[in-house]
Amino acid sequence: MSDAAQPTAAEVRAAAEAVKTALDRHLAAVERRSGEDDPAVYEAFNQLAAAAEAYDELLYDRYDEVTPFEIPGADDSLPPYTGPDEPNALSVLIRRDYAVAHPQRLLAQARRIEAADEGTDADAAETVNGALGILFGEFEPDEIASRHKEFGLEEGDSTLWVTAADELPEAGEWLSAPFDSVDPQRVICRFDVSAVFDEDLDDEPDDDAVPEELEEALEEEEQDEEDDLDLDEDEDLEPLDADR
Report pLDDT digits (tens) over 227-241: 655 555 455 545 545
Exposure string of 32-57, with b = 16+ CB inside 10 Å and e = fewer, is eeeeeeeeebbebbbbbbbbbbbbbe
Integer Cα distance of 12 and 241 in angstroms: 77
The reply to whether 84 falls in a domain is no
Q: Is 149 inside any structural domain?
A: no
Structural domain that includes position 16? 9-76
Is 29 inside a domain boundary? yes
Give every CB contact of residue 80 below 8 A, 6+ residues apart in sequence: 37, 38, 39, 42, 185
- Kindly state whether residue 112 falls inside one of the protein's structural domains: no
- The whole-model pTM stands at 0.54
Q: For 193-235, how does the pLDDT look when each residue is reduced to its tens digit (9 = 90+)?
A: 888 766 544 545 555 555 566 666 666 666 666 565 555 545 5
Asked if 46 and 75 count as a contact pair (C-beta separation under 8 A), the reply is no
User: What does the alpha-carbon distance between residue 71 and residue 49 come to, in Å, rounded to a whole number?
Assistant: 6
Q: What is the mean pLDDT of the chain?
A: 81
Which of 94, 93, 88 has the alpha carbon at shortest distance from 164?
A: 88
Task: Evaluate whether residue 38 is within a structural domain.
Answer: yes
pLDDT at residue 76 greater than cutoff 80:
no
Taking a C-beta distance cutoff of 8 angstroms, is the pair 157, 97 a contact?
Answer: yes
Q: Is residue 231 part of a domain?
A: no
Q: HSE of 47 in the Cβ direction (CA atoms, 13 Å)?
A: 17
Number of domains, the chain: 1
Find which of 115-119, 185-189, 203-207 is predicted with most confidence, using mean pLDDT: 185-189
CB contact at 8 A, 192 and 158: yes
Considering the domain boundaries, does residue 151 fall inside one?
no
CB neighbour class for 223 (10 Å; exposed up to 12, middle 13-18, buried from 19)? exposed
In a domain, 35, yes or no: yes
- Read off the amino acid at residue 244: R
The neighbouring-strand residues paired with 47 are none
- CA 222 to each of CA 19, 122, 127, 128, 234: distance values in angstroms, whole numbers, following the listed order: 55, 20, 15, 14, 19
